Structure 1
Amino acid sequence: MEASRVSPPVALPPASRSESTGVRQVIADYVELTKPKVQSLLLLTTVCTMEIAGDPSAGLIALTVLGGYLSAGGAGAVNHYFDRDIDAMMPRTADRPVPSGRVSPRAALIYGIVLAALSFVLLTSAVNLLAASLAFSGFLGYVFVYTIWLKRRTPQNIVIGGAAGAIPPLVGWAAVTGGLAGMPIYLFAIVFFWTPPHFWALSLLMKDEYARVGVPMLPVVRGERETRKQILLYSILLYAVTQLPFCAGGLGTVYLVSSLVLGALFIAGAVVLYRRADRRSALRLYLFSLAYLALLFAAMVVDVKL
């Protein structure tokens, strides 16, 4: 009977619980610095491109994704460092690790640089130099071209700076083939032209915050009507660009049908936003744009593997 008695759970002392919570918070903060939500979709384009390029092993995919995450995560951390002043003034970003004081600016900067260096070493040693160089160019583009040079100077910041976010397909193709060709350039162009309407839909929702901190996003400088017009124009351009892989003979009917349907839906959403000019339509288009890119690249893989 004595042996069958259940011992009461042992409660951790308050100090131990506090230390455990503190460690979890530190880990969470350093993960947040890498902007994992932003990265997830772009890394998906890397994996899909690798499958389009050939038959990569699971190990190669894992190493390429890890290298890409380290590079883009490093860029995100350095972005946190440079944007800490405006992040502190916007309710949406005030609780980020650096402006909240949980991570020092110096630590965020060093962390970002170390991640980028680790990415280059990993990709060079385990994948190839071209993939490593392309990933590093994405890091440099996001930090120096978008964050430091363009973001606070021109409403075209996301158009030009968006090239850095379009690098993952190039990295994925180079990882599998060791080179570049027409197809990865088309995939780069798709992500490049997808970025402005995707981001401008979000910026319509955040217009007041950007205006408060003096960031010249398109709705702040040119107004909401012009932004909606540009979203519609870029949606049409995106539709045209997505036909290039089929027209060049790289992809077939499955992709063609998918790109036509998804493109028509994207343009329809942009038309609705242009006519209604409300926050609900902007949010719907923003959310759809996320699904759009994922489904478009998934359709490419299905087309190639069938």
Structure 2
Amino acid sequence: MTSPVTTVPADSPARPARTTRSAPRLRRARAEHRPGRPRRSVLLTLLTGLVLLYSLVPLLWLLISATKSQQGLGRSFGLWFDSDFALWSNIHDTFTYDDGIFSRWLLNTLLYVVVGAGGATFLAVLGGYALAKFDFPGRRAVFAVVIGAVAVPATALAVPTFLMFSKMGLTDTPWAMIIPSLISPFGLYLMWVFASEAVPNELLEAARIDGAGEIRTFFGVTLPLLAPGIVTVLLFTMVATWNNFFLPLIMIKNPDWYPLTLGLNSWKAQAQTAGGEVVFNLVLTGSLITIVPLIVAFLLLQRYWQSGLAAGSVKE
């Protein structure tokens, strides 16, 4: 008895080759169904270029203007250098004008940043870690308060803060700048979110089983894991304190305690006054010197800042 013979179609071996040849056609067909992608890419590139120009042109103008003398500001194009390069003389005049008051303003700003922003970062780290890793009654109420504090603008609290500090006799003192700077609701919220993802609960339990106390666990185990978040919060608080203008405007009247922002504003007001002694080249040079520390800080801490922003964005 013979077994049935199965016939194979003649075109069967050619099917894989036909599929292989059709792959480029499928890719082209899919590309044809998305005709707007190149146009959107060009549009996004143009918008990014406009934002870049918007950000860099003022810095370029400030850098070029700081190299000009007072006469060179009026006789040269704004975005090009003058024949008289006066950057070093402008820096010298800025630091020596009015018995070196600019140096005093710079030291005041460093004091406010180190004590105020540094203290705000430390408190945010402690509070964020406690809220993320400890369970206690009223935790949700604290969360609601923190979110509400983030939503309230700082200008809305300026007048009540001034009245409170005035009653305590702290206005026109460094404490009027330092104490409000110690509170950073956004930094607290950021450290709360970061600590909840960056510090495993199993690691804390292992440290406690080994006999480590809470303080030793925090400084020996938790703090190294929180380093990217700490740098991120430090940069935010440092920039906010360094550029703070409205708070010292209502709190401080003594020029000896001015920060750089308020001091440069007073120089600008004098330069705009008829017969004023301060010239605009000192204002521009002082503004350039003011932004240099922030640029240096961002360049040095950039990799920590980027990793801090990305941490916790992907869950396994």
Normalised TM-score (structure 1)? 0.30
Q: Which has the higher contact order (CA 8 A, sep 6+)?
A: 2
Normalised TM-score (structure 2)? 0.29
